[in-house]
Amino acid sequence: MNTYNPDFQLVKELSLPNCRELGGMPLAGGKTFKSGLFLRASSPHRLDNEGITKLKEYGIKSVLDLRGEQEILKSGNPFMNDPDVNFYNVRLLNGDPNDTKDATMQFLRTHILGDYYIIIAEEMGNLLVDIMRILLNSDGQLMFHCAHGKDRTGVVAALLYLICGASRENVILNYKMSYPYLKTFIDPYIEKMPDDLKHSLRSDEENMVKFLDYLDEKWDGDPAKLLIANGLTEDEISRLREKCIGD
């Protein structure tokens, strides 16, 4: 595998916390994930008009919002009705992560985030298939995001990287960098959280380790098997790899 430093994937000029290019990830066989296809980021709802224009000028043609209905109702999305952008919403959380009484947040009082990632795989596999089809069929650059670009976004990025041949070590490294990249933005929110929920705003390595252990144990370490079991075809997997794997 090639040396991997995730810092070079940061896209600072777009003023979106934790905004990263997926391209450049080393893959098996000396290959590299193609650049210019996908960005991962935190929610763009805080962008002003200048920020929205910059995102379009960067080349974003599609936006995939992974947040739930309550989150979108509260904060909106500037691309929902934008005629220049294809907007998609696939909800990988049915509740509201901003409400500490939400069922998912209550679950996280006694579980790590990795346990929730497993719930996504076990109970929302059909939605993961929908997401992969959107990524496969998108034209131009697509940005996918949740609230902080950390958990739901992190699961999607991990699955995509693994399908294309990224190493376990590099997927974990890519995941755990979210908190350092978000630290200035997110620490004030962490300070206000109950002690047993502070971890939910970090990206501790153990979360991705737990998720990858689950993939190893149930799906032989091959997330393509998870996706195929939920309806994605082998041809779609092949075309997704062809789209994403560069020289």
Give the pair of three-digit tokens for residue 1: 């595998």
Q: What angle do CA 216, 218, 222 make, to 5 degrees?
A: 55
Give the pair of three-digit tokens for residue 102: 């939400």
What 3-state class would DSSP assign to 86? strand
Share of the chain above pLDDT 70, in %: 99
CA 210 from centre of chain: 17
Of residues 15 and 135, more confidence is placed in 135
Rounded to two decimals, what is the model's pTM? Answer: 0.97
DSSP bridge partners of 62: 86, 142
User: In which band, very low, low, confident or very high, does the pLDDT at 158 lie, cut at 50, 70 and 90?
Assistant: very high
User: In which band, very low, low, confident or very high, does the pLDDT at 99 lie, cut at 50, 70 and 90?
Assistant: confident
CA 140 from centre of chain: 18
Share of the chain above pLDDT 90, in %: 94
Place of tokens 């995509």: 160
What does the pLDDT read at residue 152?
A: 98
* pLDDT tens string 165-188: 999 999 999 999 999 999 999 999
Q: Is 9 exposed, middle or buried (0-12, 13-18, 19+ CB in 10 A)?
A: buried
Q: What is the arithmetic mean of pLDDT over 121-141?
A: 97
Intra-chain end-to-end CA distance of the chain, in Å:
13
What's 34's DSSP letter? P
User: In which band, very low, low, confident or very high, does the pLDDT at 72 lie, cut at 50, 70 and 90?
Assistant: very high
> Residue 126 pLDDT more than 90?
yes
Taking alpha carbons only, the member of 160, 189, 185, 188 closest to residue 18 is 185
> Residue 1 pLDDT more than 70?
no
* Mean per-residue pLDDT of the chain: 96
* pLDDT tens string 37-46: 999 999 999 9
